[in-house]
Structure 1
Amino acid sequence: MANKPRIALIIGSTRPTRFADTPAQWMLKQARAREDMDVEVVDLRDHPMPFFDEAASNLWAPSQNAEAVRWQQRIAQFDGYIFVVAEYNHSITGVLKNALDQAYKEWNRKPFTAIGYGGTGAARALEHLRGIAIELQMVSTKSAVHIGGGDFMAIHPNFGKQPIETIEANLLASATAALDELVWWAKATMTARAAAA
């Protein structure tokens, strides 16, 4: 397929003991099984940015920090995003919020979806992410993948210790819907951005 959207799967936690790798690898497998997108993992561990301390957003002034500029260049390559979302105190991780703040133009007019995990499947964190993303001129899919409640406890290494495949049947429908919507919006926004260029 020509002009397949390039999608970044952004791992939004950097803790040494993070659980994020399990849902990230599962979602990567779902995305790579499709022929309508190209997906790459972008791990925030590989982008050690300081807390945002620029004079202004890069919408208004070029960033001075080399790591921030490297981050902007990395995410600018993509047509859409899948965020791997942990829920910390009813919101997204600080490192993910900082990563979002370190860029602006690069996010504009591009879609995203998410796979979230935690007691409520990161539902509250994902709603915060959607609010932030709207300010960054992004497009949210309606669907997302939520690993919560008993499913989360079953596969967490501190509790059930089961492989994620044991709950896969509970996730597949939402993953398919989220990725279908992501591809639709990616193609639509790619076309619109090209027409505006």
Structure 2
Amino acid sequence: MTIIIAATRPGRAGLPIAEWFAALAGAHGEFDVAVADLAKIDLPLLDEPNHPRARQYTQEHTFRWSEIVDASNAFVIVTPEYNHSYPATIKNALDYLHQEWNGKPVGFVSYGGVAGGTRAVQHLKQVVLPLRMKPIFESVSIPFHFQRISDGTLRSDRTLDDAAEAMLNELAAHTPAGEAPAHSPNGAAHNSHRL
């Protein structure tokens, strides 16, 4: 499973939230967990001349991103809510590829104000469905996330941990059987790191 951190701005809350979730996913026992940090991957705005379905890539960053996504059999997107929707970074990352996403389950960990990022997730589901991904029902939403983060660490509680466990259970049930666990190809060389 690959956890994608959508936020890229300095001081983002997505990093400690992803670290918390990655630790739970690792302890779950069903996943080989990798993290794809879009701030480190640093994809420019889509700059490929061919439609992603053709897989006729011309840019080295696209080949690297394709390898990371292709190696994964499930995804969790950790996203903030910006102006009642998702950040442009995750839309851009999704748009770069097509076949690599097909048939793979995806869960969401969202955060924000009173809505906990749920509006961003609803919009993202409309994006992943045409990529033939399989968004799962269970999700984790963290309202007023800024009240839970101190010294770069998310202070969780039973409610959040239980929501994460429910999502991980459903994600495991929908991950294609018989496939090798996901892992980050070549680790840091592809701007993805393991937790």
Normalised by the length of structure 2, the TM-score is 0.85
Distance 1:153 1:15 in 2: 15
More relative contact order in 1 or in 2 (CA 8 Å, sep 6+)? 2
Give 1:168 shift: 1.7
Runs of 4+ residues over 6 Å off in structure 1 = none
Q: Does 1:69 align with 2:59?
A: no
Match of 2:183 in 1: none
Give 1:136 shift: 0.6
Q: Is the 8 A contact 2:6 2:80 kept in 1?
A: yes
Match of 1:195 in 2: none
Q: Does 1:140 align with 2:129?
A: no
Among residues 7, 13, 19, which one is paired with 2:7 in the alignment? Answer: 13
Q: Is the 8 A contact 1:11 1:84 kept in 2?
A: yes
Distance 1:111 1:117 in 2: 20
Q: Is the 8 A contact 1:110 1:189 kept in 2?
A: no
Larger Rg: 1
Among residues 157, 165, 171, which one is paired with 1:182 in the alignment? Answer: 171
The structure-2 alpha-carbon separation of the partners of 1:170 and 1:61, relative to structure 1 and needing over 3 Å to count, comes to closer
Distance 1:99 1:87 in 2: 16
Please state whether the residue corresponding to 1:183 is helix, strand or coil. Answer: helix
Q: Which runs of 5+ in 2 are unaligned?
A: 181-195
Q: Is the 8 A contact 1:109 1:189 kept in 2?
A: no
Please state whether the residue corresponding to 2:99 is helix, strand or coil. Answer: coil
> CA RMSD of the aligned region, Å?
2.0
Distance 2:57 2:84 in 1: 30
Distance 1:49 1:75 in 2: 14
Q: State the one-letter code of the partner of 1:73.
A: E
Q: Is the 8 A contact 1:13 1:86 kept in 2?
A: yes
Q: Is the 8 A contact 2:13 2:146 kept in 1?
A: no
Match of 1:4 in 2: none
Please state whether the residue corresponding to 1:54 is helix, strand or coil. Answer: coil
Q: Is the 8 A contact 1:154 1:162 kept in 2?
A: no
Distance 1:35 1:163 in 2: 23
Q: Does 1:116 align with 2:110?
A: yes
Distance 2:51 2:175 in 1: 24
Q: State the one-letter code of the partner of 2:8.
A: T
Q: State the one-letter code of the partner of 2:105.
A: P
Give 1:189 shift: 9.0
Q: Is the 8 A contact 1:72 1:103 kept in 2?
A: yes
Distance 2:47 2:112 in 1: 30
Distance 2:163 2:125 in 1: 17
Match of 1:58 in 2: 52
Normalised by the length of structure 1, the TM-score is 0.84
